[in-house]
Structure 1
């Protein structure tokens, strides 16, 4: 509506300016006439005033009709075309322009509709591809999570900034075990969780050093796995293995942290070493006793029978001990 008002305001201003210009030229023309010419012109104008006035009104009417045609055939369709194109771009991509106007405006509307059809089809294809990719990614993620949940090791998958993007139940148990008040405090802290930093649960210096080793190995195309030993907040001794995640350009995009609780293993190994040491000492003592008894018997073959029986008894007892 504002555009229509502006158009007619422009027309009125144009007519006013034209009227002023014509009046000025008419006044100057009148001033140049001699009195006899003025009398003749007044006589002719008065005698044929109706025809002159009617011609002026008819001319103005024709101009208004022409301007109205321009308004309805070109200007209003162009305004509507702009508004409906904005609807397609910002509100409803399925909207199509239905407009009446000049052939040029109609062809332009058809071209816009064809472009909108192609854009909508392309957008649908892109949305379908995105939906399919997300579905497949979610399936693979679920499969990976299912496999990880069955592993005895703790698994933490992190991005290049150290934020956890996937983890399994075992990794949460390694860092958040405990009972009572301790368990409640760990749950509140949320040591292991999506989006949390792995540096909050593992000493940063150890992990950064391991990542530096991996980076150096990748440059030299050698070993690209690093490992270290760390202690959890539950005083568990953990063996950590860091495996890099590379993209199709062989660039570092993240890493996988494989955690194994070796506390019990080391304790068992310690007990085994202690038992082995005790057994070794016992065996050595028994063998030494048997050896001493045999050496005495061999060195003194004529010893008394009582002494011989005593040494034989020593050999028998030590052999039973073994």
Structure 2
């Protein structure tokens, strides 16, 4: 059929050539019969005879051709399609078994071949699964280590495409739509510092040296919101040449901001105190020579300047305390763990009872220093009050967590607590005093009378983690955080000449209020990325969109989205730029792509984006390769390949099913000699044009 990709060894064409050859042979025999008849009368008689025989021969050949086509050609074509689908269907899917009763042993052989191939495929898959079990366990351990690191880790190839990233990198970079396997690093961080550091590393040694060079790198995120500091080292490829690099980093924005505040504080201390100190000095030098009548005015000025100086010093001290809080190494600590350790130590050392009451809370602290401070306070309280048993209750306050130590009796006077502050804590780093530990935590302690008991309150910083986490109801699928096969990719060829196997794809689907792009709107977009022929289930895009109009009940029955479900969701002008960023640099794939793309293109102007991505349609690709199917809907083609679709007519689920289908179609296309993007676009476009003509006819 015109416009479809050629099939090698087409039985129909072969049989047609045989028929043409037989017809030519009959015509040649007729001509020879006429030439070799010597007599005119005999020639005329022979002409009639040969004409009749020739016509009968041609009719016989035509009848034989029709019988041959029905009994042999069509069954052979069907057998070829069944064998092709059996080769590319899902493992374990029920394959079509060709039934060719007229071909006898060939039919039985084809069925046996399909069954043996399916069995061999299962056995090979099981053997590969068993052989990979140990390797998979090692990979899981590596993933667990990488994913739980607090530092961000990225591995990139020479073209700065991301081959690996961990959760910390996602959190620090804060660009969910931009980060992903095969995506450019320079969509996340500034280019120049990375290139400069690579240039430095390139001159220090080779990547496979025992002492491979490591260089520090400081770069900002592309939105200039975060400053990153880390280390870079090279990854060796074949022959020891650098094939890529590893980048580990942390967010130093807060540290840099603290340094700036320290500089400002120092500047204020030198410049802000200069005036009051100079005034006091001038007054002090002048005061002895001032007449008695004017001395009171000078003494008043001296008192004012002294008050100004004291206020300024107090303000600087407050800023200094705020700046130093949190600079000491601190972590989130569970109050129950802290109190239980202190209780055990106090019982062993001083026979004191310490009991935690109330709900345990998280707090942020230098756990060792606070543990020593808590023990020190309980021992001092026991000495001052004579009590042998104390309760500790964690209380949640605004930006703080209180540890209230209570006992039966009266509160402790403030002056006595002041004496405790100057005592060094036994075992504290650098001989720190209780006051120094409290200052590091921005804390002050005081005693007060409660309802039935006296208490001493120790405020501590709130944790960085949430106090109370919701119980997880299940586990999400493990995302794909790495693909080292991308390391071997060469420089990209011109887009249309690039092999399909090397391309990155974003397979997407939309749900809409109706079927008319000119009048209806998008209510959901779902997409998943394919890199290196792997579906990255951890790199998906799913958004509900407010259509700006009511959703018809007929559409709700189709995709399940109601007006209440889209209430408060962002409009397409907000969602479309996010999807545009997610699909950047990839070839778009959809089933009946012209429908989905028409909705995207319609909203480009309002969203301020333009989709220049190449687009492939699995519907037209299926029509180009599965010619015998009466329809090529997503359900029909998926069933042909043994693909199960869960939650049909949700955008992300349909996109996932289309992605699986697309990978199967890539195998079929490769078998037809369609290997590049340009060839796939041509095959898809020719079928689309043919369908358009049929609809117009």
Under TM normalisation by the shorter chain, which class is it?
A: 0.3 to 0.5
Structure 1 or 2, whichever has the larger Rg, is 1
Normalized against structure 2, the TM-score is what?
0.23
